[in-house]
C-alpha cells in the first residue's frame, strides 16, 4: 500500500514537470512570434486598384491593372496584407486625366502617402509610374428574360396559364459595343419533378462571368405558375376546305372530325367546338388523289396537347 502511494506521488510530480515544460515552450514560441512581428521589414506587394468617382457617362474596362508597391513596415502590418488582398484607391475626379481614348494616372508619392497608408508604413517605390484605363460610353438596354426549364408534372396535372417571370426583362449597362450584343438573358437550368401545386421559386440568371464590364439590374427572377388538375376532352369540330378554285365544286367526307385535348377542370366548361378551326388546304392536294389532310388553324390557349383524330378527308369533284 505504501509503495503504491509513493508511486502515485512520483508520477504526479513528473506530470507537473511535463506540464510546466510545455507551458514554458508555448510561452517561448509566442514571445518569439511577437518579437519577429515587431521588427521592421521591406517588401514589395501587388495592390489591386479600387476606382472611385468614375464619371457616370463612362465605363472603365476591367483590364488587369495593378500596382507593385514597395513598403517598409512592421511584421504585424505585413501579416494583414498577406491575409487579405490590399487595395489602392484611385479617385477619377482628381487623380487622373483624359488623353485620347484613355484615362491616365501618374505616380504621386505624396498622394499615396497622405491618403492610403498610416504613419507606421513607409512608401519606398511604386511601379509602374503610369497607369492607363481604357473606357467606353455607357449604354443602357432592356432585354427580355428567357426561362430555361425542365419541369415535369404529376400525372393529371399541368400548368393552366403561361409561366410568369418577375421581372420578365432586366436592364443591362455597359460599353455600347458589348451591350449591343446582348439580345436576351437566359436563366440557369431550372428543374422540378412531380409537380402538383402552384410554383413560386427564385431562379438565378445565367450572367456572363468573364465580362465584368457589364452590369445587370438583377441576378435572379421569380418564376410563378398556376398548376391545376387536368382532364381530357373530345369535341366534334366542323372541317372547312380552303383555296378551292371557283370553277370546282367539291363534296367531302367526313364533314366533322374528333378533336381531343387536355384542359384544366376550371376551364373545361368554357371550351366549345366553335373555339377550334380545322381546315383542309385544297392547294396541297396531290394529283390523282382524292384525299386532304386536316390541320388545326386555331384552338383555345387553355387547351393543351390538341390532336385531330381523323387523319384524312376524302373528296370528290362534282362536274
Contact 98/74 with Cβ under 8 angstroms? no
Per residue in 283-318, pLDDT tens? 888 777 889 999 999 999 999 999 999 889 999 888
Comparing 124 with 298, the larger pLDDT belongs to: 298
Kindly state the average pLDDT of the residues 51-76. 75
Determine the Cα–Cα distance for residues 203 and 205; give it in Å rounded to an integer: 7
Determine the Cα–Cα distance for residues 136 and 203; give it in Å rounded to an integer: 31
Kindly state the average pLDDT of the residues 228-255. 92
Domain ranges (residues) in the chain: 40-128, 137-225, 230-318
Comparing 67 with 143, the larger pLDDT belongs to: 143
Contact 188/204 with Cβ under 8 angstroms? yes
Kindly state the average pLDDT of the residues 58-63. 75
| CATH number assigned to the domain covering 137-225 | 2.170.120.40
Determine the Cα–Cα distance for residues 148 and 23; give it in Å rounded to an integer: 62
DSSP states of 181-197:
T---EEBPPEEEEEE-S
| CATH number assigned to the domain covering 230-318 | 2.170.120.30
Amino acid at each position: 500500500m505504501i509503495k503504491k502511494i509513493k508511486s502515485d506521488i512520483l508520477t504526479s510530480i513528473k506530470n507537473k514537470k511535463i506540464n510546466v515544460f510545455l507551458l514554458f515552450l508555448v510561452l517561448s514560441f509566442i514571445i518569439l512570434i511577437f518579437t519577429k512581428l515587431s521588427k521592421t521589414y521591406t517588401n514589395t506587394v501587388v495592390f489591386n486598384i479600387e476606382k472611385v468617382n468614375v464619371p457616370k457617362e463612362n465605363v472603365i474596362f476591367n483590364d488587369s491593372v495593378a500596382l507593385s508597391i514597395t513598403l517598409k513596415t512592421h511584421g504585424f502590418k505585413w501579416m494583414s496584407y498577406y491575409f487579405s488582398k490590399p487595395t489602392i484607391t484611385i479617385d477619377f475626379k482628381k487623380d487622373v486625366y483624359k488623353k485620347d481614348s484613355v484615362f491616365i494616372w501618374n505616380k504621386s508619392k505624396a498622394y499615396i502617402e497622405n491618403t492610403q497608408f498610416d504613419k507606421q508604413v513607409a512608401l519606398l517605390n511604386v511601379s509602374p509610374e503610369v497607369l492607363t484605363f481604357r473606357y467606353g460610353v455607357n449604354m443602357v438596354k432592356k432585354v427580355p428574360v428567357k426561362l430555361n426549364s425542365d419541369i415535369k408534372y404529376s400525372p393529371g396535372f399541368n400548368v393552366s396559364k403561361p409561366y410568369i417571370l418577375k421581372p420578365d426583362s432586366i436592364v443591362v449597362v455597359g460599353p455600347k459595343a458589348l451591350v449591343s450584343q446582348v439580345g436576351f438573358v437566359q436563366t440557369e437550368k431550372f428543374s422540378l419533378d412531380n409537380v402538383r401545386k402552384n410554383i413560386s421559386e427564385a431562379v438565378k440568371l445565367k450572367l456572363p462571368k468573364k465580362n465584368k464590364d457589364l452590369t445587370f439590374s438583377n441576378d435572379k427572377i421569380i418564376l410563378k405558375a398556376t398548376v391545376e388538375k387536368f382532364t381530357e376532352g373530345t369535341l366534334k369540330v366542323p372541317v372547312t376546305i380552303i383555296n378551292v378554285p371557283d370553277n370546282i365544286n367539291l363534296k367531302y367526307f367526313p364533314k366533322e372530325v374528333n378533336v381531343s385535348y387536355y384542359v384544366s377542370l376550371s376551364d373545361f366548361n368554357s371550351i366549345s367546338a366553335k373555339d377550334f378551326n380545322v381546315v383542309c388546304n385544297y392547294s396541297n392536294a396531290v394529283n390523282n388523289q382524292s384525299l386532304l389532310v386536316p390541320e388545326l388553324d386555331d384552338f383555345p390557349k387553355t387547351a393543351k396537347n390538341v390532336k385531330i383524330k381523323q387523319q384524312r378527308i376524302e373528296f370528290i369533284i362534282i362536274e
